[in-house]
Structure 1
Amino acid sequence: MLIISPPTSSTELVNLSLCFTSLIMTLNVSSVCLLHAFYTIECNVFNFNCMPVAPTGHLLTYRYTCSRCAVVSNGMWDQVRVDHGKEFYLCLYMQEILSRHRYNLTRQPYLQTTSLRNLRVERIWPEINSRVNYPLKEALVHLVDQEAIDMQDNLVKFCVSNLMCQVSQIGMNRVVQSWNAHRIPGRGIPNDLAAGGCPAKVSEDLLACASVAADGYDQVLGSSLSRDAAFGVDPFHSEEDRSQAEDEFAVAFPDMSVIFDSVVNNNHNVFCEALFCLLTLAERYV
C-alpha cells in the first residue's frame, strides 16, 4: 500500500474528442475517469485516477495530471468535452494553449455542456457504481452506522481516504480493462477502435506539469485557481516515517486485491481489519 500525500473509418478517426466525467463518492473517495470518445461510437477509457476528496479546492492538479498522462500516451485531442465545473479550468486552459497542435483544427478546442448531454461518457458509471463504488461505500456506511469510526476526525479521514483510494484503484483497473475489451454490437471492441490513439502526437515537453500550468493560468488570465487541499491531517512528519508505516502495513496485508475481493463479496471483515490496522500505525506518529 502507498500512503498518499495530502472508429472504424479514417473519417471517424479524425473526429476525436475527450470527455471528462467524475463521480464523487459521499464517503470521501473520488474516481475520476478520462474517457476518449469517438463522436459516433462508444467510449474507450484511456486514463483514470482515484483520489482523496478535499473539503475545499477543486482537485485541479489531480485532473490535469490525469489528462496530461492521457495526452502524452495517446496524442492531442481534437476536442475536450466537459461540464461547467471549475475543476476542469486548468485542463481547458492547456487545451487552448496547445490547440494548434491538434489534427482537426476545424473543431473548437473544447466544448462545455451539461453532464446530461455527455451521454456516451456517462454510460460507464453504472458499471463503476455497481462493481466498485457501491460495495466500498456500503462497507464504510456500515462502520459509520456502528459508530466504529468518526468521519469528523482528521486522522480517520486521512486513513479512510488512503485505504479507499488504494482499494478502489484495483476495482477501477478491472472495470476499465473489462470495458475496453467488451464488444459493442454493431460497433466493435473499444480497444480495437481506439488503437493508435490520436493522429496528432505531441512532445511531453509541451505539456507543463500541473503546478507550472496552474502558475501560467494565474499569470495569463490574472485569476487564481483553487489548489488542491488535503483531506484529513497527514500524521507523518518524514518520508522515513511514511515508508516505515507502509512496510508494516504490507506485512499485515500483502495483497490489496484480497481486501477488494472480500468487500465485493459482501464480506467487510478484511476491509475493517485493514482500516483499523492503518489507523493504529498512523496514530503512532500523531
Structure 2
Amino acid sequence: MESITSIDAVKGMLLESFTYKEISQELKCQYPLRGGLSERSVRRFVKNNGIKEEAKTEQRNVVRESIREVGDSYGRKMLKVLSNGFWDQVRVDHGREFYLVLFVQDKLRQTRGCSEVLPTFQTTSTNNHVIERMSVELNRRVIYPIKHAIVEMQETAAINMDCPVTVFAVSNVLMRVTEVGMNRMIISWNNHFIPRRGVPNVLRDTRFGTTRIDTQDLPSAPSAISLYTDQGGILSNPSCVGNDPLQGNMALMQQRESEWISSFSTSDLFGDILHGNVSSLNNAIQFYVTLSLTLS
C-alpha cells in the first residue's frame, strides 16, 4: 500500500470514522487496477505506521472564521435547500463553495428553532463530520461509473475533448446525468440503516428537524449575493466550461434545451452507464454538439 496511498490519506479517513473495510472500499474505487488494498492490508498498513494512535491523539481543530470569499456558484444553488426548512446548524469543511450558504445561515440565525448551538460550524478537511462517509458511496455509485464512461469514450475516440464545443456539451450533459445519480444516492442513503445510529430520515424527524420560515424572510439568490458583497464578501463569476456557440442568445439556448430534453432521458442515460453501456451517453453528447452547431 505504501506505493499507492499516503499515511495522511488513511489517517484522514480514520479521523472521519471510516472502518478498515470502508477504507479498503474507498481505495479500491480510487485505484481499481491496483491490488493489495484488502481490509487486512489496510489493518497492517495502519499498524506498521502507527496511524491509529496518531489519529486518536490528534485533536479536533474547529474554527469559525469570517466569510470573505467563495470559490464557485455551488453555494448559490444551495440556497434552494433552505426552502425545505431551515437547519439549526450548517456544518461544512473549510472549502469555499458553501460560504454564501453560511452567510445566509448566519444572517437568519434568529429564525432557527434551536438557538443553543452555533448557526454554522466548520471543521478541517481531515476532520469532517461523519456524513463525509457518504462520499465513499457517492464515489462508488455515481462519480466513478461516470468517470469510467468518459474515459472509455475518450480511449475509443468516440468524443474529442480537444474540441471546445464538445467539452461544453460533455459538461452540460454530465451535470444532468450526475444529478440523477446523486438524487438516487441521497434517497437511498437517507432510508438505509446505519449501525449504532439509525435511519437518517427517522433521525431527522425525531431528533433534528428543521424550522419553517416565511418566504419573505429568505433572500433570493440575487438579494443574498448583494447583501454578501455589500458587506465586503467576494464572489467569483460562474465560468463556462468549453465553448457554447449559442452563448448570449437566450432564445436559441432554450430551443436547444427543449429539443435535447425531448430526445433523451437522463434517468435512462444514468442507468445505461451503470450497466456499462456508453453508447446512449455518446449519442446524447453528440446530439447536443450537433444542436449547438446547427442552431448557431
Provide the residue aligned with 2:267 in structure 1.
257
Gaps of 5+ in 2: 1-69
Match of 2:90, SS state, is: strand
Match of 1:123, SS state, is: helix
Q: 1:206 to 1:233 in 2, by over 3 A?
A: farther
Mapped to 1, the partners of 2:295 and 2:147 lie a distance apart of 28
| Paired letter, 1:274 | A
Q: Residue 144 of structure 1: CA displacement?
A: 2.5
Residues 1:116 and 2:126 aligned together: yes
Gaps of 5+ in 1: 1-56
Mapped to 2, the partners of 1:215 and 1:274 lie a distance apart of 37
TM-score, with length taken from structure 2? 0.68
Provide the residue aligned with 1:281 in structure 2.
291
Higher strand share: 1
The structure 1 residue matched to 2:221, chosen from 207, 210, 224, is: 210
Report 1:57-76 matches (<5 A).
Answer: 58-60=71-73, 62-66=74-78, 68-75=79-86
Mapped to 2, the partners of 1:91 and 1:251 lie a distance apart of 34
The structure 2 residue matched to 1:128, chosen from 138, 155, 163, is: 138
Q: Residue 164 of structure 1: CA displacement?
A: 0.3
Mapped to 2, the partners of 1:241 and 1:58 lie a distance apart of 30
Deviating more after overlay: 133-142 vs 106-115: 106-115
TM-score, with length taken from structure 1? 0.71
Aligned residues of 1:136 and 1:263 also touching (Cα < 8 A)? yes
Q: Residue 234 of structure 1: CA displacement?
A: 2.7
Report 1:220-259 matches (<5 A).
Answer: 220=231, 222-236=232-246, 237-253=248-264, 255-259=265-269
Mapped to 1, the partners of 2:220 and 2:230 lie a distance apart of 16
Q: Residue 193 of structure 1: CA displacement?
A: 1.8
Provide the residue aligned with 1:170 in structure 2.
180
List per-residue Cα deviations over 1:146-198 (Å, max 9, x = no partner): 34433343312221111101111221121111111112234332222212763
Q: Residue 101 of structure 1: CA displacement?
A: 1.7
Residues 1:150 and 2:163 aligned together: no
Q: Between Structure 1 and Structure 2, whose CA radius of gyration is higher?
A: 2
List per-residue Cα deviations over 1:6-42 (Å, max 9, x = no partner): xxxxxxxxxxxxxxxxxxxxxxxxxxxxxxxxxxxxx
Q: Name the Cα RMSD after superposition.
A: 2.2
Aligned residues of 2:154 and 2:161 also touching (Cα < 8 A)? yes
| Paired letter, 2:76 | Y
| Paired letter, 1:64 | R
Aligned residues of 1:58 and 1:228 also touching (Cα < 8 A)? no
Q: 1:246 to 1:100 in 2, by over 3 A?
A: closer
Aligned residues of 2:165 and 2:242 also touching (Cα < 8 A)? yes
Mapped to 2, the partners of 1:234 and 1:148 lie a distance apart of 20
The structure 1 residue matched to 2:202, chosen from 171, 184, 192, is: 192
Provide the residue aligned with 1:219 in structure 2.
230
Alignment length, in residue pairs? 225
> Looking at both structures, which has the greater relative contact order when contacts are Cα pairs under 8 Å and sequence separation is at least 6?
1
Residues 1:269 and 2:279 aligned together: yes
Mapped to 2, the partners of 1:224 and 1:256 lie a distance apart of 35
